[in-house]
Amino acid sequence: MNIIKYGPLFFVLFLSISITIILINEKNNFFNNEIKELEKNYLKQNEERIKEEVNKIYKYIKIKKESSENLLKQRIKNRVYEAHQIATNIYLNESQEDHIHSKEHIFKTIKHALEGMIYNNGRGYIFIDNEKGTNLLQPLHKEIEGKNFYKYKNTKGYEFVNNIIRTIKNKTETFDSYYWYKNAKDKKVYKKISFYKYFEPFNVAIGTGEYIEDFEEELKKDILKFIQSIRYSKNGYIFMLDLKGNILSHYEKTFLYKNGLNKKNKDGVYTIKNILNFAKKYKEGFINYKSTIKPSLNLTSTNKISYIKTFEDWGWVIGTGFYFDDLNKNIEEAKKDLIASNNNIIKKIIIVSLLLTIIFIIISFYISKLISKMFITYENDLIKQTNNLIEKENLLVQQSKMATMGEMINNIAHQWKQPLSLISTSNGLLELNQKYNNFSQKEIEEAIEAINLSVKNLSHTIDDFRNFFNPEKELKSFSIRKSFEKTFKLIKSEFNNNNIQIIQNIEDIELYSYENELLQVLINILKNAKEELIKLEKDKKRVLLINTKKENNYLIIEIQDNANGINEKYINKVFDNHFTTKKDKGGSGIGLYMSKQIIEKSIKGKITVKNNYFSFENHNYKGACFIISLPIK
């Protein structure tokens, strides 16, 4: 709807801008000579400016690198001085008359305080060695505390521990430089600078150290962070690349530390690759190319000239540049006369734009009304289709019941056999008595009573099955135990005839729900279990476990068989509509589908199935386990 309302307005604005650009381009033809002169002056001035900016950054990096070792020395010296002062303060405080402690206690206190002085993102630490070359404190490598390194040499044969011992003997402080591994897995040694200071109360040296490479890496990060923040003029920035094509500094933060070797501009040119090739060949100079982006306007493939210079020590390429379209800023003064002649045209464009806007707004409102009517019609159709779908769903529920009618009728036949047989026997007895009159009055009365009891049994059986096929839904309170009793009445003959043992652990829990709907689900699941159990060999035990329990105001029903479970490739499909593995036996695939619909849509519960291993009577079994979760209220 918003597109229809505001689309014409955007079209008018686009048309107005397009006309304005065309008219301005025609006027600009009169100023070509002046523009060329301005371009020459601007080009020269800006080339000098960007060259100066690059040289300033180059000098800044060079100075920082050259002073890095001195800066590192100062930092580690400050750390040792800080640790030395902490140790001194602890010693003086613990040695006061009001609470004098043993030297051993004081030294432990000092160690505890200094081992927490971890810096440089976990790399830097304070260590303590004595005059014999034994390490007394090593926070990051506790395994070497107490070990002696008096004769220990690095890969170049340097015994750096002797320098620590000399510092203690001379009661002084000193820097040391040597090569050492960063960790136990390293095969390469790196240059390290350390500083040691004598601590008189315990005749030991307190020290720390840092690898120059690690320090330089942090220095690089600080330098890059500073360079990334540099802005000059309006859109000026410093870009920085390494020789592998990684972007180290750029106006666009999303480009940082990404490789740009394979990045093309709109013309298909590898801009960064060309810059690096130029830097490798010439080391420094001006290069003309089309940039991938202009920060101020978000333009792409804009003509740009940059000055670049290679800082070879670190393999960095430093550069900055300017965009040719910035020439328009210096041409603005030459366009003043053109602006005056354009005012009348702009006024006419505004009038036309307003008229077009009004016309298109009217059209948009008209179209929106038409669309609104269409939506209303569509909504009514959707409601109608939804109602039809609900009716079909209800019909499908009843069809699911009717799908089991054949088996139910068979169950009726099984349950009628015994009472019908008894009626037949009693009736035969009465006929014989009428013909021969050779039975006592008591025998005749017992035969009549047997007939009456059998008729009542037949009547109850009909009522049970008639209630199952009743399509009406009624919310009421009922006992889950009695619901299972009703279920077993309908199907017990099938299970008895097939030697299926039903183990019931059913708690007497009250529900407020649709009992008849639930009965249909229970019969569907039990019927499916029966069909799988009768596939077992006749000498195999056929077991069906039924458990119910109450959890967090929900009734949990678990129906577990020992029919070896459901094929894993089908287990996620058993509740799908019309999915069945028994098509050749007349299976419809709607029983479990409708069970899921009833439980989750009508009763607002949940039904799942899984393959489960269980033990019964000292035997291990595997089978399908259906789990039904029902809200109690």
What is the C-alpha to C-alpha distance for residues 371 and 10, in angstroms, rounded to an integer?
Answer: 21
pLDDT digits 0-9 by tens, 345-360: 556 656 766 676 677 5
**Confidence at 547, pLDDT banded by 50, 70, 90:** very high
**Confidence at 542, pLDDT banded by 50, 70, 90:** very high
What is the C-alpha to C-alpha distance for residues 26 and 13, in angstroms, rounded to an integer?
Answer: 20
Angle (CA) 105 110 112, round 5°: 95
Please, which residues have CB within 8 angstroms of residue 491's CB and are 6 or more apart in sequence? 411, 523, 526, 527, 530
What is the C-alpha to C-alpha distance for residues 601 and 199, in angstroms, rounded to an integer?
Answer: 80
3-state helix, strand and coil shares in percent for the chain, rounded to the nearest 5: 55, 20, 25
Beta bridge partners of 129: 135, 205
Q: Tell the burial category of 633 from Cβ atoms under 10 Å away from its Cβ (0-12, 13-18, 19+).
A: exposed
Does this model's pTM top 0.85? no
Q: What is the pLDDT averaged over residues 206-233?
A: 87
Neighbouring C-alpha atoms within 13 Å toward the C-beta of 385: 6
Instruction: Assess whether pLDDT exceeds 70 at residue 371.
Output: no
Q: What is the DSSP letter of 552?
A: T
pLDDT digits 0-9 by tens, 471-497: 556 788 999 998 888 888 777 777 888
pLDDT digits 0-9 by tens, 242-274: 999 898 888 888 888 888 888 887 778 888 888
Helix 68-94 with 212-228: angle, nearest 10 deg: 110
pLDDT digits 0-9 by tens, 7-34: 555 555 565 566 656 655 655 555 456 5
493 near 527, Cβ under 8 Å?
Answer: no
Return the exposure string of 207-232: e unless at least 16 CB atoms fall within 10 Å of the residue's CB, then b. Answer: bbbbbbebbbeebbeebbeebbeeee
What is the C-alpha to C-alpha distance for residues 555 and 253, in angstroms, rounded to an integer?
Answer: 57
Q: What pLDDT shows up at residue 195?
A: 96
154 near 172, Cβ under 8 Å?
Answer: no
Q: What pLDDT shows up at residue 55?
A: 93
Task: Determine how many CB atoms are found less than 10 A away from the CB of residue 238.
Answer: 25
Please provide the average confidence, as pLDDT, over all residues in the chain.
Answer: 78
**Least confidently predicted of 71-85, 493-507, 567-581:** 567-581
309 near 283, Cβ under 8 Å?
Answer: yes
pLDDT digits 0-9 by tens, 95-147: 775 666 788 899 999 999 999 899 888 888 999 999 999 999 999 888 889 88
